[in-house]
């Protein structure tokens, strides 16, 4: 089906034609006619990169009243990168719709500039939840008359702790609005959200729920925790033309891995929450244009990055939520191309791998970590192929021919070839000359104990293993006893809605120090505060050295205090 067949206005057809789009993607083919016919609320399940923005953007643009200056559409998304990406796509789609205004609002940019933009005619607002609430409180964003509320990447907004923010926003919207919910996965939280916010929603999916893409090969390497970075380097070296995202669990780990890769001469950089907006834009632009081969990123930071021809997705750690794995691996193998998803594991993550295999309905293939000889051979062949395929500019090189011939006069053909190969190739030969086998025998668990040093360097994975055993045993009492153990901290935070502190902002504050994501255990409202109890899984040896944690609230300077094995949050007022 093409865009001329679905009843869009001619200006929209002209815009998508100019952008080079002809055929609808599966999600567009199913959702656009439904939304255009005012079919009601909708839950659409599709992976990133399947054309979701056009799936909701085109039918909404087709029905919007350009003569009405009021805000008619509110699009909510989890990150500023995705916010800007959606705004850019909608702007391109509406290129020939005169008089339409689309305003992105997100954290990290001047709120006064955004307020000025909102005061003008603004039919569509694309926002992150936190900034939307800030602007609502300042009476700058008015959503009491919107006709469409669109929740993009809804699963990620919930996992980032934005549920309370969404509740606040939804409470200010009219009852007769249409809600369009787009999500990559279908966790239970999405079903609860649909029950709370939507009216008899139609569910559309372009593939079975939580099933990994068919054209992605799923592989894993089994190594000791201390050899994880070495394994990553070998994966990069054995794939000379690699174009990959490496997913790390935390910002600190992301930065550490990227810094090591750059120091070792790899064309890599990091994308995480500590970067300024200008830095993030620069990194993403370099990666999109392939000036970077390897991008080391956290899941949250990579949300706004849409690249279609990744060769590899590499899981430096397995994600805690198996559905996140589906989303990660779906970034490769797009547009009919094949892709590879690689996970770097050690024995204690084997249980988690089995859970992911079950949910993804895929069998993961164990691959041996490449040895030095394999890597050197592949690099040599790759170099030879590049030399053979290089284009020669006869006009430019002709003037130097005599000098070149003179310089090589005392060398024969074989000697010249060996010299050129050695010049490019010696660093691999030197590095891998005495390279050890870092593969781990699955049947020899004693080999993976690794001593105190290994355990200390990988405490997050130790927790994963305990969590796997807990799931097999079941029982809340065992789980609670484990969470109160010496490796974890229980935090009571006497800050709440009156302090403009949400679980989402608190989660972001602790992200650099967490091996496992935080979740709300219980919330009790009082007249003065919202008393929130959080379970935070942190290696206790990291707590005393923590710098002050910055929290989005009127009390920005907060510090973790450690007393007798318990952690508390101290916030000066």
pLDDT digits (tens, 9 = 90+) for 73-83: 999 999 888 89
Least confident window among 92-96, 538-542, 563-567: 538-542
Check the CA dihedral 59-61-64-65 and report its sign. negative
Task: Give me the residues paired with residue 270 across strands.
Answer: 296
Confidence grade of residue 506 (pLDDT, cut at 50, 70, 90): low
pLDDT digits (tens, 9 = 90+) for 86-97: 999 999 999 999
Confidence grade of residue 510 (pLDDT, cut at 50, 70, 90): low
What SS3 state is found at 282?
helix
CA 385 to chain CA mean position, Å: 34
Mean pLDDT of 369-389: 88
Cβ count within 10 A of residue 456: 13
Q: How far apart are CA 318 and CA 366, in angstroms?
A: 15
Confidence grade of residue 124 (pLDDT, cut at 50, 70, 90): very high
Report the pLDDT value the prediction gives residue 221, as an integer from 0 to 100: 96
Confidence grade of residue 376 (pLDDT, cut at 50, 70, 90): confident
Per-residue pLDDT at 314 exceeds 50: yes
Per-residue pLDDT at 340 exceeds 90: yes
Token pair, residue 215, equals 């054209």
pLDDT digits (tens, 9 = 90+) for 395-422: 888 888 888 888 888 998 888 888 887 8
Confidence grade of residue 563 (pLDDT, cut at 50, 70, 90): very low
- Burial class for 137, CB neighbours closer than 10 Å (0-12, 13-18, 19+): exposed
Q: Is residue 559 within 8 Å of residue 541, measured between CB atoms?
A: no
CA 87 to chain CA mean position, Å: 19
Average pLDDT of the chain, as a whole number: 78
Task: Give me the residues paired with residue 102 across strands.
Answer: 124
Mean pLDDT of 188-195: 83
Output phi, psi for 122, to 5 deg. -150, 100
CA-closest candidate to residue 315, choices 210, 244, 227, 241: 244
Report the pLDDT value the prediction gives residue 387, as an integer from 0 to 100: 84
Report the pLDDT value the prediction gives residue 16, as an integer from 0 to 100: 92
Q: Is residue 128 within 8 Å of residue 78, measured between CB atoms?
A: yes
Report the pLDDT value the prediction gives residue 495, as an integer from 0 to 100: 55
Per-residue pLDDT at 13 exceeds 70: yes
Per-residue pLDDT at 259 exceeds 70: yes
Report the pLDDT value the prediction gives residue 305, as an integer from 0 to 100: 74
- What are the structural domains of the chain? 3-205 (3.40.50.300), 216-372 (3.40.50.300), 474-570 (no CATH)
- Residue carrying the six token digits 């009127």: 554
Confidence grade of residue 60 (pLDDT, cut at 50, 70, 90): very high
Confidence grade of residue 6 (pLDDT, cut at 50, 70, 90): confident
Token pair, residue 90, equals 């909608």
Half-sphere exposure of 138 (CA within 13 A, CB side): 15
Mean pLDDT of 474-488: 41
Q: Higher pLDDT residue, 560 or 264?
A: 264
Q: How far apart are CA 266 and CA 268, in angstroms?
A: 6
Q: Is residue 269 within 8 Å of residue 287, measured between CB atoms?
A: yes
Q: Is residue 120 within 8 Å of residue 191, measured between CB atoms?
A: no
Q: How far apart are CA 453 and CA 467, in angstroms?
A: 22
pLDDT digits (tens, 9 = 90+) for 199-232: 999 999 875 555 566 788 999 999 999 999 999 9
Q: What percentage of the chain has pLDDT greater than the value 70?
A: 75
Confidence grade of residue 476 (pLDDT, cut at 50, 70, 90): very low
Q: Is residue 219 within 8 Å of residue 364, measured between CB atoms?
A: yes
Q: Higher pLDDT residue, 480 or 417?
A: 417
Output phi, psi for 93, to 5 deg. -65, -35
Q: Is residue 103 within 8 Å of residue 126, measured between CB atoms?
A: yes
Q: Is residue 342 within 8 Å of residue 314, measured between CB atoms?
A: yes
CA-closest candidate to residue 52, choices 178, 244, 204, 197: 204
How far, in Å, are 183, 393, 404 from residue 303 at the CA level? Answer: 12, 42, 51
Cβ count within 10 A of residue 314: 25
Report the pLDDT value the prediction gives residue 494, as an integer from 0 to 100: 53
Q: How far apart are CA 189 and CA 181, in angstroms?
A: 13
- Whole-number CA gyration radius for the chain: 26
Helices first, then strands: H and E counts in the chain: 22, 20
pLDDT digits (tens, 9 = 90+) for 358-369: 877 888 999 999
Q: Which parts of 223-290 are beta strand (E)?
A: 244-247, 268-271
End-to-end CA distance of the chain: 61
Q: Where are the alpha helices (DSSP H) in 49-95?
A: 52-63, 80-93
Report the pLDDT value the prediction gives residue 537, as an integer from 0 to 100: 36
């Amino acid at each position: 089906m093409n865009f001329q067949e679905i009843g869009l206005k001619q200006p929209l057809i002209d815009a998508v034609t100019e952008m080079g789009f002809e055929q609808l993607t599966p999600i567009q083919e199913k959702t656009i006619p439904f939304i255009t016919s005012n079919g009601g609320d909708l839950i659409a399940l599709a992976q990133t990169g399947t054309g979701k923005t056009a799936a909701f953007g085109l039918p909404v643009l087709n029905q919007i009243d350009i003569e009405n200056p009021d805000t008619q559409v509110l699009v909510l998304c989890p990150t500023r990168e995705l916010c800007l990406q959606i705004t850019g796509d909608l702007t391109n789609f509406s290129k020939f719709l005169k008089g339409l205004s689309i305003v992105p609002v997100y954290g990290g940019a001047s709120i006064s500039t955004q307020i000025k933009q909102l005061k003008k005619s603004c039919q569509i607002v694309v926002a992150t939840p936190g900034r939307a609430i800030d602007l609502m409180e300042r009476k700058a964003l008015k959503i009491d008359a919107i006709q469409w509320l669109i929740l993009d990447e809804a699963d990620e907004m919930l996992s980032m702790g934005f549920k309370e923010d969404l509740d606040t926003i939804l409470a200010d919207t009219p009852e007769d609005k249409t809600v369009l919910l787009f999500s990559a996965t279908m966790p239970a939280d999405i079903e609860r959200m649909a029950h709370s916010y939507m009216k008899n929603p139609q569910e559309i999916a372009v593939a079975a729920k939580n099933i990994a893409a068919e054209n992605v090969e799923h592989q894993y390497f089994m190594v000791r925790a201390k050899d994880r970075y070495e394994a990553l380097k070998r994966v990069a070296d054995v794939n000379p033309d690699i174009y990959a995202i490496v997913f790390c669990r935390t910002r600190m780990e992301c930065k550490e891995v990227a810094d090591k890769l750059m120091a070792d001469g790899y064309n890599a950089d990091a994308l995480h929450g500590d970067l300024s907006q200008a830095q993030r834009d620069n990194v993403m632009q370099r990666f999109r244009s392939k000036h970077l081969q390897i991008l080391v990123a956290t899941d949250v930071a990579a949300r706004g990055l849409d690249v279609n021809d990744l060769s590899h997705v590499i899981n430096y750690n397995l994600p805690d939520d198996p559905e996140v794995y589906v989303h990660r691996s779906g970034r490769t193998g797009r547009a009919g191309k094949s892709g590879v998803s690689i996970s770097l594991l050690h024995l204690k993550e084997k249980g988690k791998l089995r859970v992911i295999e079950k949910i993804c309905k895929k069998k993961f293939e164990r691959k041996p970590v490449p040895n030095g000889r394999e890597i050197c051979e592949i690099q040599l062949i790759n170099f030879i192929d590049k030399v053979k395929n290089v284009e020669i500019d006869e006009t430019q090189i002709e003037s130097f021919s005599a000098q070149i011939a003179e310089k090589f006069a005392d060398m024969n053909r074989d000697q010249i070839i060996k010299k050129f190969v050695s010049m490019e190739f010696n660093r691999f030969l030197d590095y891998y000359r005495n390279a050890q086998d870092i593969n781990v025998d699955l049947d020899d668990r004693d080999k993976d104990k690794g001593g105190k040093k290994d355990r200390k360097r990988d405490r997050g994975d130790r927790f994963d293993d305990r969590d796997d055993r807990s799931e097999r045993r079941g029982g809340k009492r065992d789980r609670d006893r484990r969470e109160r153990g010496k490796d974890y901290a229980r935090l009571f935070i006497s800050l709440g809605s009156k302090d403009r502190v949400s679980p989402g902002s608190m989660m972001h504050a602790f992200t650099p120090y967490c091996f496992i994501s935080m979740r709300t255990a219980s919330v009790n409202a009082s007249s003065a505060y919202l008393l929130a109890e959080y379970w935070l899984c942190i290696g206790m040896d990291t707590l005393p050295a923590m710098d002050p944690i910055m929290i989005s609230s009127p009390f920005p300077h907060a510090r973790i205090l450690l007393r007798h094995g318990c952690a508390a949050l101290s916030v000066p007022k």
